[in-house]
Amino acid sequence: MADRITTEAPTTEAIRRAEPTARPRLARKPRGILVPLWLGYVFLYLPILIVVVMSFNDSSNLFVWRGFSLRWYPELFANEALMQGLVNTLIVATGATAIATVLGTLLAYGIQHYTRGGLIRAFAIAPAIMPDLLLGIGLLTFFSLITFTVGLHSVIIAHGVFATAFVTAIVLARMANLDPSLEEASRDLGAGPVRTFVRITLPQLAPGIVAGALLAFTLSLDEFVIAFFTSAPTQPTLPIVIYSMVRFGVTPEVNALASILLLVSIVTVIAAQRLTRLTGSTR
């Protein structure tokens, strides 16, 4: 009986040995290329860091460090002008956020379901990229033409205009990741458009809506140019109050206030970013 000849399949190790030993090495990135990056970070964040550090300075002279102290934070809350400006800003930011959230969500839904092409989408998001100076002058001119008195209500409307564009953009990004078959199934089962929107679409849009609302609140909180053109002299927002104070020199209370607003802005932006990342979740 003839011996059976068996052929053994080559192992992975044998294949690797048979391959050419010379492999292309990954090119090392020169470390010097990171220098402009870190210089950019220093240019952006060093002034902010200085403001935060000097808010804990015991001296009233901003250029002389006399030790760590929290004295300026209680004095900040005792400053009536700053506190009234903060209250006005919170009122404006809350009202503008409510307007922008409702209008931005409805606008994004209408663009996604009832329009074709990018022209209407571009017009809806245009206030987000439009210069604040142009938008402020345009709103002031419009209010003058219709003899609309300015005050906190006019600032709320003005901030709601440009904040709506940001909410629309975020909600549109969220809607691009929704499964349209869920709405079709809801309509096939007899639900109307309103019920389908409330029970099916709105819960799926919730992360994008909340992210847009947080971003709108943050943008309205520190917006200056539009508020400057559309507010009344007797009801200034906080950025306007700070501007009127820093013209004669920055005071330690302003540094303390800036540190608090910085903390609030960071927390809000991080929350909005984390919610916006949910737009890429599985369908």
Q: CA–CA separation, 208 vs 273, rounded Å?
A: 10
Confidence of residue 27 (pLDDT cuts 50, 70, 90): low
Contact 238, 146 (CB under 8 A): no
Q: Position of tokens 């970013």?
A: 273
Instruction: Report the range of poorest mean pLDDT among 40-44, 61-65, 212-216.
Output: 61-65
Residue 96: its pLDDT value, please?
95
pLDDT score of 12 more than 70: no
- Helix, coil or strand: residue 68: strand
Confidence of residue 21 (pLDDT cuts 50, 70, 90): low
pLDDT score of 274 more than 80: no
How many angstroms separate the Cα of 102 from the Cα of each of 92, 99, 227, 281?
16, 6, 21, 23
pLDDT score of 72 more than 60: yes
Contacts of 53 (CB under 8 A, 6+ apart): none
How many angstroms separate the Cα of 4 from the Cα of each of 1, 7, 11?
9, 10, 21
Residue 185: its pLDDT value, please?
84
Contacts of 111 (CB under 8 A, 6+ apart): 120, 121, 124, 168, 172
Q: The tokens of 277 are what?
A: 């990342």
Contact 140, 230 (CB under 8 A): yes
**What mean pLDDT do residues 111-137 have?**
85
Residue 251: its pLDDT value, please?
76
Residue 5: its pLDDT value, please?
45
Top-confidence range, 5-9, 39-43, 62-66, 227-231: 227-231
In degrees to the nearest 10, what's the CA dihedral of 196, 175, 218, 123?
-110
Contact 95, 156 (CB under 8 A): yes
Question: What is the Rg, in whole angstroms, of the alpha carbon atoms belonging to the chain?
Answer: 28
Strands (E), the chain: none
User: Which helix H or strand E contains 79, and what residues bound it?
Assistant: none
Q: What is the pLDDT of residues 217-250, one digit of tens each?
A: 989 988 999 999 999 888 899 899 888 887 777 7
Q: CA–CA separation, 283 vs 199, rounded Å?
A: 16
Residue 90: its pLDDT value, please?
92
How many angstroms separate the Cα of 10 from the Cα of each of 3, 5, 43?
21, 16, 59
Q: CA–CA separation, 144 vs 206, rounded Å?
A: 37
How many angstroms separate the Cα of 259 from the Cα of each of 19, 61, 218, 236?
61, 17, 15, 21
Confidence of residue 82 (pLDDT cuts 50, 70, 90): confident
Backbone phi and psi for residue 16, each to the nearest 5 degrees, phi listed first: -65, -35
Residue 6: its pLDDT value, please?
47
